[in-house]
Amino acid sequence: MKVYEGIVINLGIVYGKAYKLRDAIQDDRKTKSNIDQLAVLETALAKSTQRLQEQITTSQMLYPDAVSAIFEAHKLMVNDPLIIDRAKELIRSRHSAYDSYRQAADEVIEKFLRLDNEYIRNRVIDIEDTTDRVLATIEDVEYDRRTAFGEPTILVVEKMKPSLLLGLDKDMIVGLISETGSYNQHSGTIIRTRDIPAMVISGSYNSINDGDRILLDAYKGHVYVNPDQQLANRILKEGDDD
């Protein structure tokens, strides 16, 4: 058994099997280089905007306004002229739509990370989320994945991306562990709105394996990997008693 401590994002005690969610974007490129890259970018931006509008509509029906406001902001980020103009400039220099948009977004992210402002730095994950959405669309890869499990599962991710958290199947995804993140990220708002027990634990993504049994105690800030059943039962009972 291994025990980890971390930052609590939302309270709760849950027990389930670990599932590591891999990045939707792979290294291989599907987009052909002999087609109009400006048109490829414009199409990806339009599709991404449409999908975000669908998320906004869904959020407005199911959750408080704070959640839909997050995706309103994402829609603005997708259409940020600072990123788009820079990407088009790179495309005209014979770069692909994928590489151009990636570089343009990375330049903005780098500027944000240099700022000594926690609020601004916490918005970086939103820019990364919207950037990855556009890049996945350029590559014709499904970005909003739907995960289905036959038993209680604790999702293990590298980053708490808002788009990912909105689509979680709460019936079977009972908890979340992220390698990085903070309480005040927009992702935290979604997690608490959906009442999914969650923690941020540095090093967790590489330390936890698919299929590990996880006991997440977000009251005490502990995660137990492959605990014995007696310990798991005792901590779960303590949570029920509280």
- For residue range 8-56, list pLDDT tens digits in order: 999 999 999 999 998 766 555 555 666 899 999 999 999 999 999 999 9
Residues carrying CATH 3.50.30.10, the chain: 2-21+145-241
Residue 185's nearest CA partner among 10, 22, 52 is: 10
Residues carrying CATH 1.10.274.10, the chain: 37-138
What architecture (CATH level 2) is domain 2-21+145-241? 3-Layer(bba) Sandwich (3.50)
For 211, other C-beta atoms within 10 Å of its C-beta total 10
Amino acid at 124: V
For 160, other C-beta atoms within 10 Å of its C-beta total 25
* Percent of the chain with pLDDT strictly greater than 70: 94
At 107 the pLDDT is 97
Residue whose tokens read 């948009």: 101
For 176, other C-beta atoms within 10 Å of its C-beta total 29
Of the listed ranges 14-18, 50-54, 169-173, 219-223, the one predicted with least confidence? 169-173
For residue 141, the Cα-to-chain-centroid distance in whole angstroms is 16
At 40 the pLDDT is 96
CATH of domain 37-138: 1.10.274.10
Average pLDDT of the segment spanning 75-95? 96
